[in-house]
Structures are given as C-alpha cells and as structure tokens.
Structure 1
Amino acid sequence: MLPPIPLKYLLPLVGLSVSAFVFNTSEFMPIGLLTDISASFGMTPAATGIMITVYAWVVGVLSLPLMLATCRMELKRLLLLTMALFALGQAGSGLAVNFPMLMGARILVACAHSIFWSIAAPLATRLVTRSHQPFALSMIATGSSVAMIFGLPLGRVIGLALGWRMTFLVLAITSALALLYLWRVFPSLTNDSSFSTRDLPALMRNPLVSGVFVLSLLFATAYFTTYSYIEPFLGSIAGFAPETITWTLMMLGVCGFLGSVLFSRFYGHHRFLLFRSGLLGLVLALGCFLPAAAQQPAMIACCMLLGVISTLFNVTMQAELIRHCSLSAAPVAMSIFSGIFNVGIGGGTFLGGRLTGSGLLPDIGFVGAAIGACALLFGLVSYLPHARRAR
C-alpha cells in the first residue's frame, strides 16, 4: 500500500484539479450553448461552431511557441500568470457584444489554455513520488471529468436561465478564486529545464513519443467530429428534450470520472489493456451513435461509454508521454501533445460542422468511428510493438 501524499503537496494537487475543471468547462461549454449563442448573433449553429474550431487551432499553433518562450520562467509564477490571463479572457467573453469580440476573447483564453495544459501534468507529477504519479495524473483527469459532470451542464443551465454571457462571467469569477487559492498553497518550483529547440528533432524521432502524437491527433479528430455537435444531434436526431440533453451530458461527464478512476487503479499493471480498451471503445461508441438514437436508453448508454473512453484514453496518453520523456523534455512534449490534440479537436469540429451544414448530421458518428478505426489500427500495428520492446 502506498504511503499517503503529504498535505502540503495534496493541496496544490487539488488546486490544479480545480484549474483543470475551469479550463475544461470553458473549452467545451460552448458545445452545450451552441444553439443559444448562434441565435443571439443571428447565426446558424454550424457557423457559430467555427468558434470552437478556431479556439482549438489557436491552441494547436501556439502551444509549443508559448511553452518554449516561457520554459525558463519560475513555475508557480507561470501558473499564476496563466490563470490571470484565463480569467481576463472569460470576462471579455461574458461582455462580448458581437461575435468578433467573442472570438477575440476566446483567442485570449486559448493562449492561457496553451500554457496550462503544457504544464499541468508535469507539475502534478513533480509534486509527488513516481509511485504516486498515476494518482496525481488521475486528479487532473478528475478535474476535467467533473467539468463534464457539472461544469458543462451547469454552464448550460446558467446559460438557459440567465443568458450564455452570464456563464462566462461565472467562469471568470471562479478562475479568479482559483488563482488566489494557488497563490496561497502552491510551492515555488525551480524550472531547471535545459531543453531547447535544438533538442526537438531528437524528441520527435522517439517512436513512442511521435506515436502518442499520432494517436492523439486521430483520437481527438474522431471524438470531436461527433462530440462537438452532440447537442443538435441529441435534439434533432434522437428527439431529446432540452432538459434530457442536459442530463445526458451530465451522465457523460460522470462516466468520464469513472474513466479517471479506472486509470488510477489499473494503469500501473495493465497499461496495454487500458490502451486497447480505449481505442476499441471509441470505435464502438461512435459507430453505435445513429443506431442508438432510435431508443433513448441505448443513446444514453452510448454517451456514457463515450464519457468513460474519452477520459481514460486521454490520461493514458499523457502518462505514456511522461513515461517516455526526460524531466526537462516533459513540459515541451506535453505542449506538443496539447497542440496536436487541439488540432484534432479543431479538425473534428470543422469536419462535424461541414457534415452538419450539408445535412449529414445523422452520420457524424459513422465518420468519427472511421477515423477512430484508423487510430486503432495504428495503435495495434505500430505503437504497441514499440511500447512492448521499450518495457
């Protein structure tokens, strides 16, 4: 049995988990409010969805440059500045009077996102011993999952009751409070990174690191081709009432929490099983999306499986990346991971938007499953053999 984590390190982990909650709530909250945001600006949901695509692509483009520009900054200071930028962007989103202003504020939030997800996992693992690292990573994943359980649906409830702008303002206040908490409890950590741009080619030549990047791109593209338009799918295709959509999204988030628990418990001894299960489960869940829409219980079950898989596979890939990188390379590798994952988010959202705009909303699950099948094939044929040899 592992010894307990000292309170002085557990409290910062809680702060990182709360921060992960607000960051994930912010990124995906427009998915739950897409119809209302588009209506307020006289736009279609497919046209408004470009906001999610641009956000993700900005993160994809800026993750590595921003990480390299700040990689020698003291880590606590970097974390606090990132949270301050995030809160400012949320306030700007809540005060936006037109769509371009909203886009500008979201781009500001995307810059904060680029840095946060580059340092969150490495910071969590630096606070604990190696034996506690799966638990530390699962806490970050838990914050993300709780965002899906309560953040995204709660943001939708606030948006439906008080207007979508109030949801962003509530996030601004919450992130400001998280900033104050981290200022009080987070320890000063020296940034002894010796990584430079000259080390990038060697990092990219590592077949396990590059394999994680390829898998993350395919997984994110497959998942978000479907997930980004899950609200109009559940309403138009599955015939769910608005309240039922909210509860279904909440159940999806609850199952994301289950995915983080499964990771924490089984990754240490069954990492390859989790890896295969994540990819196979993605293809199964997305492939069943349209058939399951005919029956409400089947549709909810399909969304629940999708929630488990999304968190389980994402945190597994982060753990794999940290396992195969040096301490100095981990933040940069994680920034590339975050960037590539968000390129996948943007690509999936763009593809889903084109399908929706072309009247093919019912088929978004099939398209996502086809891309997921490519990820499964790559994982079984290329990544797993390299990972077994490295073990």
Structure 2
Amino acid sequence: MFRSIPLKYVLPLLGLTVSAFIFNTSEFMPIGLLIDISQSFSMTESQTGIMITVYAWVVALLSLPLMLLVCRMELRRLLLLTMGLFSLGQLLSGIALNFPMLMAARICVACAHSIFWSIAAPMATRLVTRTHRPMALSMIVTGSAVAMIFGLPLGRVIGLYAGWRMTFLAITVVSLAVLLYLAFVFPRLASDSSFSRDDLPKLLKNPLVVSVYVLSVLFATAYFTVYSYIEPFLKNVAAFSDQGITSTLMLLGVSGLLGSYLFSHFYNQFRYGVIRAGFVGLVAMLLLWQSAAAGKGTMVAACLLIGCASTLFNVTFQAELIRHVSMGAAPVAMSIFSGIFNVGIGGGTWIGGRVTAHGLLPYIGYAGAVIGLTALVYCFVVYFHFLRKSLKKDEEIS
C-alpha cells in the first residue's frame, strides 16, 4: 500500500492517523463515561449529556471562523499549535473541580477539534498523488475507527478502574507524545489558500457542496440520536453487563475499519454504490434497533452494521467534498463540513436526550430512523441529480 509513497510522507501520514485516533477518542470518550461523570457531579445522565451537545455546537459555531482566521498559516505550524491547545484542554478536563470547569475545558478541546478536522483531510491528500488520495483519506478514518475499537473502550476501562479523570490525563500524555513526533516528521506545507471571506458565497452556490452539507447534518443527527445514548441503551434495554458494553463498543469500532476498507477498495470503481450503502445501512439498523435489543447476538450485529455505515458515510462524503472544490478552498470547505456535522452531533444528542428523559429510550432508534430516511431520500433524489448533471457537463467539456 505504501510502496509508491516516499517514507518522508508515510511518516507524517501515520502521525495524522494517530492524531485522528486521539481526537476521536477524546470527542466520544464522555459517551463511554457518561454514567460515571454523572455520578461524580450528582447529575442525571441526560443533564451530563449536554456536555456532548455543547462540545458539538461549539465546533459547529467556531469551525468556519477559526479556519478563516488561520487559513493562511503554514500548515505544519498550525497542526502543532492545534495539538498543543488540545493537550491543554485534556489536562484541564482531568483536573476539573466541578462540571462548569469541565465544560470550559471541553470547549478548549472543541476549539482544537474545529481546526484539526478542517485541515486533516486536505493535508493528507496533499502528501500523496491523486491516485493515493482514497488511501490517505482512509488512513485518517482508520485512526477514527481505531479510536472506537481501542480508544473509547480503553478510556472507559481506565475510567471504571481509576476514575474518569485519569482517562483525560492519559490522553494528555499521549497527545504530548504525538506533538513531539509530528514536530520531527511533519514537513512544512504552505497553506496554498487564496480563499477569503469574499469567496464564501461562490462556494455556497455550488449545489453539490450544499447537498453534501445537508446530507452531513441529517446523517449525523440520525446517527447520534442513538449513538450518544448507546451506553444506557445497552445497559438498561439490552441488559448488557459493564464488560459486555465495553466489548460491544470495541466491536463497533472494528466495524469502522470495515467501512474504511470498503471505501479505499471500492470508492473509485463503485462510487454510487458506496454512497448508497452508507445511507441504506444506517436506516435499516435504526429501524431494527429496538428489535435487535431482544438478543445479545442481534444487538452486537446491529452495532457492527451501523458503525460500518457511519464510517463509510464519513469518509465517502469527505472525499466527495474534496472532489467538488479547489485545493485552495478545501480547508475552509472541510471546516464548514466539520461544523455542520457537529450541528448534527449536537442535534442528535439533544433529540436522544429528550427521548431518554421522557422514558422512551427503548424506542430511540425510531427517532433516528425518521431523520435517516429524510437523508436517504434527499441523497437519492437531490444529490444524485446534481451529481449526474455535473458529470454530464464534465463529459461535454472533455
């Protein structure tokens, strides 16, 4: 896989992959520790869940402004500063004395998140040739998937045995080590961005770009309506043990690797099929979510399939977005994608919280399925229409 890529670019790609692992571990860690954090501050799970919502909405609000502010900065320097800010936020989370202090620390991490996920995919694609871009993107997503396999469950195990604070402190140590690694191996990359605020209207007039954003918010809302409350669902509805929950979350992460594999091997040849698979897989599993809870095996299978669908969507539509914009506009376009996706995360967490607060946790899958069906119809009717129209235009020009 790496034979035709110089080692000096493989090493920074690996650094970005590990960074993606750390960022995703940190973002979703509170999901696996929701019960413990709630008990620590004498709060309910739905009250503590607002931390996930606020984090997501801060990312949504700040992704574009922060990226416009720093888009002309040399990318290596920007990456290192982002990792430094992330490490600081993790440290403050680990020593938080009360819930407001924890929220403030998470907002600090959210600012670093806003920048990292705006630049990660564009940087990865710039390190390789066009032929290897799907591979480079799949590596970033693999880092995210491995976070679900080992990061989130490991964070949960550390939290169960040493306290949730130790989980954040462990992430602090790892992130500082990655910061030092990137300082040694990552090459200087000029921002290559002539993008300015005046170019935003042109970007947002592109119907394909706008459609990607609409689909991202709908998909994220549907998925995180269920995923944000997967721990209490597995415990209280599916009757899983604590170890069973940890193992299931790990297997869900394994399914992310499968989604990354499917993308890297089939996206170039079967683009439409890969896009369809993400939406169909999501909606089908959400509709079957309550029924799957009747048995341990069916519940694990549902988690595997929905995790695969989520990863497949995420990497596929990052690739779709990069296809539809210039390289100079890619970081800003990705910052909007990250922000809008996090609107969906926050919205899904809020909807899931309301469903849970009203005692309807067993039916949470149906709430997500309604939104997922909307996304599926929009993709098949609107996005594919604009995509075919664009491809036909390109053929006529060539």
TM-score, normalised to structure 2, is 0.97
Matched residue type, 1:111: C
Do the aligned residues in 1 keep the contact of 2:260 with 2:315 (CA within 8 Å)? yes
Q: Which runs of 5+ in 2 are unaligned?
A: 392-398
2:143 paired residue number: 143
2:295 paired residue number: 295
Once the two structures are aligned, what percentage of the paired residues are identical? 68
Cα distance in 2 for residues equivalent to 1:2 and 1:240:
41
1:14 paired residue number: 14
1:82 paired residue number: 82
Cα distance in 2 for residues equivalent to 1:371 and 1:305:
18
Q: Does structure 1 residue 108 correspond to structure 2 residue 131? A: no
Q: Summarize deviations over 1:113-161 as a string: whole Å, max 9, x none.
A: 0000000000000000000000000000000000000000000000001
1:5 paired residue number: 5
Cα distance in 1 for residues equivalent to 2:296 and 2:346:
29
Matches within 5 A, 1:256-335: 256-335=256-335
Distance 1:2 1:247, change over 3 A: closer
Matches within 5 A, 1:207-222: 207-222=207-222
Q: Does structure 1 residue 43 correspond to structure 2 residue 43? A: yes
Matched residue type, 2:15: G
2:155 paired residue number: 155
Q: Summarize deviations over 1:44-98 as a string: whole Å, max 9, x none.
A: 0000000000000000000000000000111000000000000000000000110
Cα distance in 2 for residues equivalent to 1:269 and 1:233:
38
Do the aligned residues in 2 keep the contact of 1:2 with 1:131 (CA within 8 Å)? no
Cα distance in 1 for residues equivalent to 2:344 and 2:268:
27
Cα distance in 1 for residues equivalent to 2:34 and 2:142:
25
Work out the number of aligned pairs and report it: 391
Q: Summarize deviations over 1:343-382 as a string: whole Å, max 9, x none.
A: 0000000110011011111111011011000000000000
1:232 paired residue number: 232
Matches within 5 A, 1:27-66: 27-66=27-66
How far residue 21 of structure 1 moved from its aligned partner, in angstroms, is 0.2
Matched residue type, 1:19: S
How far residue 387 of structure 1 moved from its aligned partner, in angstroms, is 1.1
2:249 paired residue number: 249
Q: Summarize deviations over 1:310-356 as a string: whole Å, max 9, x none.
A: 11110000000000100111000000000000000000001100110
Cα distance in 2 for residues equivalent to 1:191 and 1:257:
30
Q: Does structure 1 residue 181 correspond to structure 2 residue 205? A: no
Cα distance in 1 for residues equivalent to 2:144 and 2:308:
12
* Cα root mean square deviation, aligned: 0.9
How far residue 3 of structure 1 moved from its aligned partner, in angstroms, is 5.6
2:356 paired residue number: 356
TM-score, normalised to structure 1, is 0.99
1:130 paired residue number: 130
Cα distance in 2 for residues equivalent to 1:387 and 1:80:
37
Cα distance in 2 for residues equivalent to 1:213 and 1:120:
18
Matched residue type, 1:114: S
2:380 paired residue number: 380
Cα distance in 1 for residues equivalent to 2:19 and 2:57:
21
Do the aligned residues in 1 keep the contact of 2:2 with 2:10 (CA within 8 Å)? no
Q: Which runs of 5+ in 1 are unaligned?
A: none
Matched residue type, 2:162: L
How far residue 192 of structure 1 moved from its aligned partner, in angstroms, is 2.2
1:190 paired residue number: 190
Report SS of the residue matched to 1:341: helix
Cα distance in 2 for residues equivalent to 1:285 and 1:256:
15
Distance 1:46 1:185, change over 3 A: same
Matched residue type, 2:103: M
